[in-house]
Chain A
Amino acid sequence: EAGVAQSPRYKIIEKRQSVAFWCNPISGHATLYWYQQILGQGPKLLIQFQNNGVVDDSQLPKDRFSAERLKGVDSTLKIQPAKLEDSAVYLCASSFNSYNSPLHFGNGTRLTVT
């Protein structure tokens, strides 16, 4: 089966600019996650969707980050305006369901904010 697809692979922007990341989960997976991984740390959950509804966005900095999964399939994560501390790898993952289902990760987008 095809894995989780993410784009772009790399992105370099200046602070205060905006950026968007795209994710297409594994076909049939109802749950989609966006994680932020800062260098040297484990991934941190930003937002979790079940179909097109938000399950958990408690750690999403909502003043600058937004995410949507309008048709319950692919998803977009946006940062506007970006800060230096947003430099990280943004990982998308999906699972068949939100319980008792393993996570499958995409290759991630490495964001550098200068």
Chain B
Amino acid sequence: GIQVEQSPPDLILQEGANSTLRCNFSDSVNNLQWFHQNPWGQLINLFYIPSGTKQNGRLSATTVATERYSLLYISSSQTTDSGVYFCAVERSTGNQFYFGTGTSLTVIP
């Protein structure tokens, strides 16, 4: 299967700080999604971004499919941003989504 690596594995931020999360994948992909898993375990869609750049409020994401990576930017972080961020990719040769191991973010006031 495809390998999906996320970095950093853990991140602690002061409220108001900015951060960049990275997702590397080992094969060409049709699709890529970023999710936020909140402390109650719910997986929330952030971006569906097979290529290019998208922005939603304080969050933005960029996927460079030809170089096999995606970045998630969080600006002016808030305590509610805490949780685990996952990227999931769909291989070009199949339609199964593979998840990375996640980045655990803690935002302290």
Report A's interface with B, CB cutoff 8 A: 33, 41-45, 48, 55-56, 89, 91, 93, 98-100, 102-105, 107-108, 110
A99, B95: Cβ atoms closer than 8 Å: yes
Task: List 6 additional A-B contacts (Cβ < 8 Å) besides A100-B30, A105-B45.
Answer: A41-B101, A56-B96, A93-B43, A102-B45, A104-B45, A108-B41
B42, A42: Cβ atoms closer than 8 Å: no
Task: Report the Cα distance A55→B90, complex, angstroms.
Answer: 14
A55, B41: Cβ atoms closer than 8 Å: no
Report B's interface with A, CB cutoff 8 A: 4, 30-31, 33, 35, 40-45, 48, 50, 86, 88, 95-97, 99-102
- Shortest A38–chain B CB gap in Å is 11
Task: Report the Cα distance A86→B85, complex, angstroms.
Answer: 23
Nearest B-chain residue to A110, judged by Cβ: B41
B33, A102: Cβ atoms closer than 8 Å: yes
A42, B101: Cβ atoms closer than 8 Å: yes
Residues of A within 8 Å of B99, CB to CB, are: 42-44
Picked from B42, B96, B102, the residue with its CB within 8 Å of the CB of A107 is B42
